[in-house]
Amino acid sequence: MKHYLMILPLLMLSLFPLPCPAQQANPGSHPDPNDASYYGSAAQLDTVVVTASKLPQTKGNVTQKVDVITQKTLDEIVLENRNIAEALQYEPGIFVNVLSRNDANWGSYGGLGPKYNTYLLDGLPIDSFVDPMALDPWALARIETQKGPASVLYPNYLSQDFAGNQSPLAGMTNFILKERTFDSQTRGSVDFGSYNTITGHGIGQYRIENLNFYVGGWGEKSDYTNYGTKDSWLHILDDPAYSKLKLYGRATYYFGGDENHKLSIFGNQTWHDGNVGRPNRLFDNNYTIANANYYNEINNYVTAQVKGGYRNYDRTWTEDNFPNLSLNSNNGVEQEIFPADASITVKNFENSVLTVGTDFQYGTYRTFSTPVAGPQVIGNDATAYQSGIYLQEEYYWDKWIFRAGGRYNWTWQNYDLIGGTIPWIDSQSWNKPLWSGGLRYNLSEDLSFYGNAGSSFLVPGIKSIGGTLRPEDLGVSGKNGQLPNPSLSPETGLGTDMGVDYQPIKDIKLSLRGFGNMLDNAIITNRVSNDPSQSIDVNAGSATSYGVEFEIKHRVLSYLQWFANYTYTHSRVGNDLYPDQDGTQIPFVPENMGNVGIILEFPKNFTAALYMHVSGSIYDSDSRSGRQKFDPYEVFNMKLTKVLTQTDTHYLDLHLDLYNITNNRYQMPWQFQDTGFSAAAGLEVRF
């Protein structure tokens, strides 16, 4: 079934107003206090965040650095690969490397690889490689990115696909869903762009007494383009094509209408199918995300929260006998993860906060291949469990904030099959105490200083141990994937940072942050072959990164604001056993990186948002003899919006998205390349 055929009825459903109590639909009637154009003091009157302490706090009242990407900013950013992670590339210290519209998000955080920044959805872990591609930005109220170590209040994620388990050593990214509906509103858009891409978008937000809910969807069909380099192992012979469909909804019930006592349920389903430019190189991927959150401020001192979720990753693809295009096999990965978290926060000593809680995860991981001329073969079949208990105190004294916390983690892995065979070891387990601490000194409402430190612990992923290939597949043509490494050891880490936030005048914000991260027994993905495309995870001995971030945000005039940031990172692998790896730059970590954004609001309701991202060179491996260097690049994106009609009840605009204006077809790891300039134009309506 072609899911894109559901786009039109989906949009019609989401645009149809449901019966609700009499309320005036007023697009934009409630200013967003998290808007980047909202300026308070650097310390006390700033944006409200929840990630750092699990309770709503102003940024000046937590020790960690937390940046916020508002819904307004998300609307200004061009997401060419339809991946929300692309919005994060404009934040300091974050390198995003989305390979294509059909592939996962890679990159680096705090000078470490892509698995050292846990992604959350309303405080519950999700997969940082896949789920940003499955979520719709219209479902979000904002994105919070916490910099620095965060391993006490939040756990590792048990994802086994791609790079395996994920740890919040260098920080975390929390996608905050919409919740409260002030005015009923329906929003929809239709776009047409490069590669015959047709996109439909719709969401309706409503309220019936104490029940607030929204339902939405996003659908797209495209005759895509070749995203491989010349002579790439992808061997794209014809324009690849895909269709995507996302359906989602959330309902929040406020008991007695009280903002501090509520229950919410969210569900998201994504279908993504197509081909990779050859008749028997098909894929069909289904992703499911579900969250249930209960929040109860029992009294002025005690708040309880219980959260549970479900994640399902079901990917299938076919392989051919290239250069013979006949079908070779059908292959797949099936993964389920059930995360849960329960916590209690107690206010003490007036403003201080004590948080105690526990979390749990259960995950399954299974890979299979069905040859044309044979029965199905199971590659990996394993399960994993993880649990932890944690405690943290944030103590406020005059202008000082002190934070200290601890966690104890248990992790088990059970293996039925690894690499298609019964392993000599059927299970492994690890346990580890973790700690974290920080402080902030608010010298004034406009100047504050902070510092943080914490430990982490990351066990090898099932895929890292078992791979998606057999050892004998090394170098065999057509065998693309990851080789097994059952001898991997867990890695431990230490993260630190120090910084200053300063607001010299009302409309200028400055921040400076230094960071340092250290890993022992670091697990790094090492490319061993380009054709076929093969990699293996190895313990690289140790890894160290340190750097500095600088950021400025400035509203020059009511119609002009801009921002800029720069990050310098020094990263090195240390391995005395393998001189070929010792002293090399950590893969996916650019030494220099920066961003500039300008937002102009012209007369006649015309807005232009220009974003530029600049990245230094990166490597795809820590091996001097086998790695490939990728040159620095820059990308200019622009979104132009002309409001055609805007009243208290209706809104209509014409918009144009311009991606990679300079047509910079830069190369990326695994013989991918950016597709260059593309454009899309459309209409958006709200009522």
Q: What is the CATH number of the domain that holds 300?
A: 2.40.170.20
Centre a 10 Å sphere on the Cβ of residue 94 and count the other Cβ atoms it contains: 26
Mapped onto helix, strand or coil, the DSSP state of residue 257 is helix
Looking at residue 176, its pLDDT comes to 97
Average pLDDT over residues 639-656: 96
Reduce the DSSP state of residue 86 to 3 states and report it.
helix
Instruction: Judge if the upstream peptide bond of residue 371 is cis by omega within 30 degrees of 0.
Output: no
Judge contact between 650 and 642, C-beta under 8 A: no
What Å distances lie between residue 392 and 171, 341, 442, 449, 676, CA to CA? 17, 15, 21, 21, 47
Backbone conformation region of residue 67, classed left if phi is above 0, alpha if psi is from -120 to 50, else beta: beta
Q: Tell me how far apart the alpha carbons of residues 336 and 311 are, in angstroms, rounded to a whole number.
A: 6
pLDDT score recorded for residue 552: 97
- Percent of the chain, pLDDT > 90? 71
Range of the domain at 120: 3-686
> What is the reported pTM?
0.89
CA dihedral 235, 239, 240, 244 (to 10 degrees): 160
User: Are the C-beta atoms of 118 and 128 separated by less than 8 Å?
Assistant: yes
Q: What is the pLDDT of residue 46?
A: 58
How far apart are the C-alpha atoms of 551 and 595, rounded to whole Å?
A: 9
Strands 185-193 and 197-208, bridge-based pairing = antiparallel
User: In whole angstroms, how far apart are CA 681 and each of 190, 225, 332, 678?
Assistant: 8, 18, 36, 11
Chain centre to alpha carbon of residue 498: 24
Q: Is the pLDDT of residue 305 over 90?
A: yes
Q: Is 12 helix (H, G, I), strand (E, B) or coil?
A: helix
For residue 22, pLDDT over 90 is answered with no
Cα–Cα distance list, 146 to 49, 77, 82, 154, 169 (Å): 10, 20, 23, 12, 11
Let me know: does 71 contact 32? Beta carbons within 8 Å.
yes
The band of 575, judged by pLDDT with boundaries at 50, 70 and 90, is confident
Interior/surface letters 176-187, b for 16+ CB within 10 angstroms, e for the rest: bbbbebebbbbb
Q: Which two tokens stand for residue 63?
A: 């020790």
Name 408's bridge partners.
389, 433
Arithmetic mean of pLDDT, 9-36: 39
Contact call for residues 462 and 415 (beta carbons, < 8 A): yes
Q: What is the count of structural domains for the chain? A: 1
66 in Cβ contact with 56 (< 8 Å) = no
Half-sphere exposure of 10 (CA within 13 A, CB side): 25
Confidence (pLDDT) at 41: 40
Residue 366: is its pLDDT beyond 90?
yes
DSSP label at residue 238 = S
pLDDT at 26 over 70: no
